[in-house]
Every structure is written in structure tokens, then in C-alpha cells.
Amino acid sequence: MKLRHIHMPSWAACAALRHRRRLLRGRAGALCAATDADFIGHFPGFVAAVETGFRHEEALLELVGDACLRPRRADHAVILCALHRTAAQVERGDLALGRQVVAALAALLGQAGAPPPAAPVRLAAPLP
């Protein structure tokens, strides 16, 4: 999907990206504070919200012709893969892993300033 025909100032795109990340961070914080039963029930919706947020972010980066779009997409793919693998573990009852992943993602989304530059995401240990 090419969106370059629409002109958007880069400052507006950055503001939109920060807003989207704030929303995701808030949702992650609420999920971390949820009871175990609520955590299990809301985790799939959180994963879907992250997917939507990342698609929105990628569309905005494409609008402004940002050079980091391709590496950012790769980072998003790694994060989403981890979330989907974690979702399977959460369904099996591994809430500690789920909470750890959500907290780590919230910290990543909470970096101050503009969205962080595209950088490889490294997990401390491979997921089972």
C-alpha cells in the first residue's frame, strides 16, 4: 500500500506515533495490573491492538517517507512473533511469562521522545 501521495508534515506523524504508543503503553499497564482471569481474557485483544498500532505506525512512516520503515517493519515482525508465541503460553496458564512480555513491551514503547530508531529486538532467552 503506497501512501506517499498524501503529504503529512513529519512533526504531525511523530505526534501521531507518540500518541499511538501512549495508548498501547496505557493498555499494557492496565493488562499488567489485571487479575489473572482478566489477563488471560484480555491478552488476545492486547495482541490485536499491538498489531493494529504497528500497522498504523508503518502507514505513518510510509506517509512521510521515513528511511527506517523497512527495519521498523522487521522489528515489528519480531515483536509480534514473540507476542503470538507468548499468547499460546498464556492460554496454557503461563501468566508470569505473559506479564513479563507485556511489561517489556510497555518499557519499549515508553522510551522518551520520538519513536526509538529501528534496532533489533533481543530476547534474553528463546521462548519455548
* Chain segment 58-67, per-residue pLDDT in tens: 988 888 787 8
Q: Confidence band (pLDDT; 50, 70, 90) for 7?
A: low
- Look up the domain containing 36 and give its range: 10-109
CA distance 31 to 40: 9
pLDDT reported for residue 66: 79
Does residue 103 form part of some domain?
yes
The answer to whether residue 98 sits within a structural domain is: yes
Whole-number pLDDT of residue 109: 85
* Phi, psi (rounded to 5 degrees) for 88: -65, -40
Domain count of the fold of the chain: 1
Q: Is residue 118 situated within a structural domain?
A: no
Per-residue DSSP letter, 81: H
